[in-house]
């Protein structure tokens, strides 16, 4: 049993001690959360999020499938040579203060993202302190509740501004944790729509002996009459308390949202057991919803320059869900997910698929696959 020295609450300790390994290599675990996770120590409340590919289809029997790939690259100790890094947790949410029980999947890497300590096998290594994993319900990247409401979060790319810096100083400020670019031609300038850039990325043109550092805004909405939440906290509140798309949209409209860091922006897909689905985006200080049944990592409600450099996942999903508009067998939905998996061995893929899952919103079941391996799965039921 791993230690949890910072926890005093009996129910929190019970949840941590419920953690069980699901797969063989320790990338996927399961946790039962019967505690009030809205009442946590302040030290545990720094939450971050990300996202990828999702679509909603009906089966030939009329059941609603909410399908999702969660793509994100994590590097243990910033080792970019390791193609498979991440630590994911199947979360059974049974908060005594919530209206509904839920089943979802969390990316628990973010429990200690600054140190990169959340790696495969550590949740049952017998030595790592797991206290911070009481945050796991707020690290849920997608989920479904007992009323058949499902939700997922997907990251969006943000334009960068570049400030020229002293060429002789660039090595001192270059962060190896970030993607940095070296230009090869005289006269080349930084591309504000470089998809790999993040706040603090450095671009260097050695031919011209010039260097720049990227800055990205802190994305947020600001209505003084509304409280402000991080996106994954709002997601958790909708999952715990909303029974339909209409209720989820009504709740979301009552809050401002804020990115977890500069350059972090997201949209959120919600769907329910009737088959209704909506994509929520926050544009020009307003919440905007779009009637759509698939999404990846670009804006839908406005023109997105990053769409032109996308990898084609959105086009693939659009064609797939259109062909299945009168009904799609579940194994076909699995194949469609497999087509848009981001492969850890493929250097062209920006993210790496941590897991894939299919929620049946009528049967209340979850089928989950790990790291793009669609030949093996695990199934759970929200009873």
pLDDT in the model for residue 81: 65
Q: What is the mean pLDDT of the chain?
A: 91
Q: In terms of pLDDT, which residue wins out, 77 or 188?
A: 188
Stretch among 78-87, 218-227, 314-323, 360-369 having the lowest mean pLDDT: 78-87
Residues 158-174 have a mean pLDDT of 96
Contact 92, 32 (CB under 8 A): yes
Residues 118-145 have a mean pLDDT of 93
pLDDT of 47 over the 60 cut: no
Residue spans of beta strands (DSSP E) within 94-209: 102-107, 140-145, 150-156, 161-165, 181-183, 202-205
CA distance 216 to 201: 10
pLDDT in the model for residue 362: 98
What is the fold of 12-157+220-381?
A: Penicillin V Acylase; Chain A (3.60.60)
- Please report, for the chain, the start and end positions of each structural domain, with discontinuous segments joined by +: 12-157+220-381, 161-215
Residues 174-178 have a mean pLDDT of 83
With cut-offs at 50, 70 and 90, classify the pLDDT of residue 49.
very low
Give per-residue pLDDT as tens, 326-338: 999 999 999 999 9
pLDDT of 196 over the 90 cut: no
Stretch among 36-50, 100-114, 116-130, 359-373 having the lowest mean pLDDT: 36-50
Q: In terms of pLDDT, which residue wins out, 98 or 195?
A: 98
CA distance 140 to 136: 7
Model's pTM, two decimal places? Answer: 0.93
| Percent of the chain's residues with pLDDT above 70 | 92
Give per-residue pLDDT as tens, 354-383: 999 999 999 999 999 998 899 999 999 998
Residues 22-28 have a mean pLDDT of 94
pLDDT in the model for residue 83: 67
With cut-offs at 50, 70 and 90, classify the pLDDT of residue 310.
low
Tokens of 267: 């949209």
Q: In terms of pLDDT, which residue wins out, 376 or 179?
A: 376
Contact 1, 105 (CB under 8 A): no
If one counts every other C-beta atom within 10 angstroms of the C-beta of residue 75, the result is 17
């Amino acid at each position: 049993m791993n230690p949890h020295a910072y926890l005093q609450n009996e129910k929190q300790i019970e949840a941590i001690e419920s953690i069980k390994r699901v797969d063989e290599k320790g990338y996927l675990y399961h946790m039962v959360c019967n505690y009030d996770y809205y009442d946590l120590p302040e030290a545990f409340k720094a939450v971050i999020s990300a996202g990828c590919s999702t679509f909603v289809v009906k089966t030939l029997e009329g059941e609603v499938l909410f399908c999702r790939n969660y793509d994100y690259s994590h590097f243990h100790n910033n080792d970019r040579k390791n193609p498979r890094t991440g630590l994911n947790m199947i979360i059974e949410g049974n908060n005594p203060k919530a209206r509904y029980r839920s089943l979802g999947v969390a990316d628990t890497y973010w429990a200690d993202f600054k140190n990169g300590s959340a790696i495969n096998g550590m949740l049952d290594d017998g030595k790592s302190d797991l206290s911070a994993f009481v945050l796991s319900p707020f690290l849920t990247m997608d989920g479904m509740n007992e009323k058949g409401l499902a939700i997922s979060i997907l990251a969006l790319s943000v334009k960068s501004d570049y400030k020229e810096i002293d060429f002789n100083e660039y090595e001192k400020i270059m962060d190896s944790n970030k993607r940095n670019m070296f230009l090869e031609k005289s006269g080349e300038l930084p591309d504000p729509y470089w998809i790999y850039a993040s706040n603090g990325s450095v671009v260097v043109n050695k031919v011209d002996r010039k260097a720049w550092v990227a800055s990205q805004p802190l994305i947020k909405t600001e209505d003084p009459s509304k409280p402000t939440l991080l996106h994954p906290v709002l997601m958790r509140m909708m999952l715990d308390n909303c029974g339909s798309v209409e209720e989820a949209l009504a709740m979301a409209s009552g809050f401002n949202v804020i990115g977890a860091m500069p350059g972090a922006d997201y949209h959120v897909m919600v769907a329910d057991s009737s088959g209704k689905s909506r994509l929520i985006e926050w544009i020009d200080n307003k919440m905007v919803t779009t009637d759509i049944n698939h999404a990846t990592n670009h804006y839908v409600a406005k023109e997105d320059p990053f769409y032109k450099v996308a990898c084609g996942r959105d086009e693939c999903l659009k064609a797939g869900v259109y062909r299945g508009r009168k009904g799609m067998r579940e194994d076909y939905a699995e194949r469609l997910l497999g087509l848009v998996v981001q492969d850890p061995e493929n250097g062209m893929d920006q993210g790496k698929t941590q897991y894939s899952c299919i929620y049946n919103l009528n049967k209340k079941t979850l089928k989950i696959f790990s790291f793009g391996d669609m030949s093996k799965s695990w199934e759970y039921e929200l009873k």
